[in-house]
Structures are given as C-alpha cells and as structure tokens.
A and B are shown apart, each in its own frame.
Chain A
Amino acid sequence: SYELTQPPSVSVSPGQTARITCSGDALPKKYAYWYQQKSGQAPFLVIYEDNKRPSGIPERFSGSSSGTMATLTINGAQVEDEADYHCYSTDFSGTHWVFGGGTKLTVL
C-alpha cells in the first residue's frame, strides 16, 4: 500500500524557519495537502495543492513540492504554531488517499 513518510518531530526556536518534509513516490504527479492539528482538536487545512493557502492562513505558512518530496515551511515560527502537522495525498490511482505519519512541531 502507498505510504507518505514524515519525520516524527521537528524543533525550532521562535522566529526561526521550520521545515517539515513529506516523501512519497506519487508526489511528482499528485498534489500534497497539509493539516495542522493542535492537541485535542480536529485537524485544520493550512496548505492545499502543494503551495496554496486557504483564506485566513498566515503568510508565514508556505508549501512546495519537488520530485518525490513536499515541504511545509513556516517562516518565523511562533509558539502558537506548535502542533502536529500531517501531509495528505493520493496514490497513483487518484482514488486512494493517505496521510503521512504526522510531525510534531515544537517551538521553544
């Protein structure tokens, strides 16, 4: 079955740039989506179609994709950005969706 691989954790100091990666064989052909999930809450969409920000998402959140890796970048990470981040995409069929294992971002 198709898998998306993320690092379990990333840690940065406030104001630094946080980068969270997601690798998958189908990513050259399929879009990546990124969800933020704070403790005890439902996930929240922060990036869609590799690099597009939904309305209301701060500009410090950006996404990119190159080859088999998609990256979520948080420029000037803030304490309130501390959360789990999940990438999401589909396999080559386009009908079976998969989440990455999630990355815990610590900002301190």
Chain B
Amino acid sequence: QLQLQESGPGLVKPSETLSLTCSVSGGSISTSDDYWVWIRQPPGKGLEWIGSVYYNGRTDQNPSLKSRSTISVDTSKNHFFLNLRSVTAADTAVYYCARDRKYCDGDKCYFYGMDVWGRGTTVTVSS
C-alpha cells in the first residue's frame, strides 16, 4: 500500500529557505503513471497547489511561487523535495505531498486525481 510521509523543520526564519522531503514507501516513485505533488494550506485557509514533479525531473509549478520554489526528485531514495526560498510569514502553512496518477488515451493524457496523501507537516515562519 503506497504511503507518503512529509518531513522537514517545523520552524524556519524569515528570508531563509524551507526544505521539505516527501518519502514514498510501498511503491516506486519511478513509475511512468505517477506525478508527485506538493500542496499547502495556511492556517484557516484553503488549499494551494505548489507544483508537481515527474520521475524524470519534469516539473509544473504554480506561477505565483515559481520564482522562489524548486521541486525535485531522487529516484534512488524514493523521495521528492520542495525548496522554498526567501520565506515570509505568509508561507506558514501545513504542507502536504500527494500522488496523482495519469493515464493516456492516444496523445491526450488525463488524471485520476490525488488519491494518496501524506498526513501533512506544519511549517511556521518566525524569527
């Protein structure tokens, strides 16, 4: 059974870099069917898509965060990562990682939706 687990520091100082790891167990991160996604949720607010990464390193990212964020994958460790630079209090949130599975019909591809999620990790930006 596929499981995802976020890890990283719970407290980050303003202007520093937030670095999170999502560890994938019970399955391989290298499958061609899966995209690996980062999502966050500020306290009391809605969900925000941060971006996704494919096993070959291809990424799609939220334009509003793209200048500060890097999403990457390490297939040898079955992990994927989020780095968010120059953080401010507005980056305080619960950060989730998730799996989205795609399928293709001819030259068009579609998604089944994010069916496996980590429990989330709380990151606070404060001095």
Give A contacts to B, CB under 8 Å.
1, 31, 33, 35, 37, 42-45, 48-49, 54, 84, 86, 88, 95-102
Interface: B26 (CB within 8 A): no
Tell me whether A95 and B113 are in contact (CB under 8 A): no
Q: Of residues A54, A99, A101, which shows the largest number of chain B Cβ atoms within 10 Å of its Cβ?
A: A99
Q: For chain B, what secondary structure do more than half of its interface residues adopt (helix, strand, loop), or is it mixed? A: strand
Tell me whether A95 and B114 are in contact (CB under 8 A): no
Pick from B49, B113, B120: contact of A98, CB below 8 A.
Answer: B49
Pick from A31, A48, A96, A100: contact of B46, CB below 8 A.
Answer: A100
Contact with A along B99-127 (1 / 0, CB 8 A): 00000000000111111011110000000
Pick from A45, A84, A100, A101: contact of B114, CB below 8 A.
Answer: A45
Known: A33-B114, A35-B47, A54-B112. 10 other contacts (CB 8 A): A42-B120, A43-B39, A45-B113, A45-B114, A54-B113, A88-B49, A88-B113, A95-B60, A97-B52, A102-B46
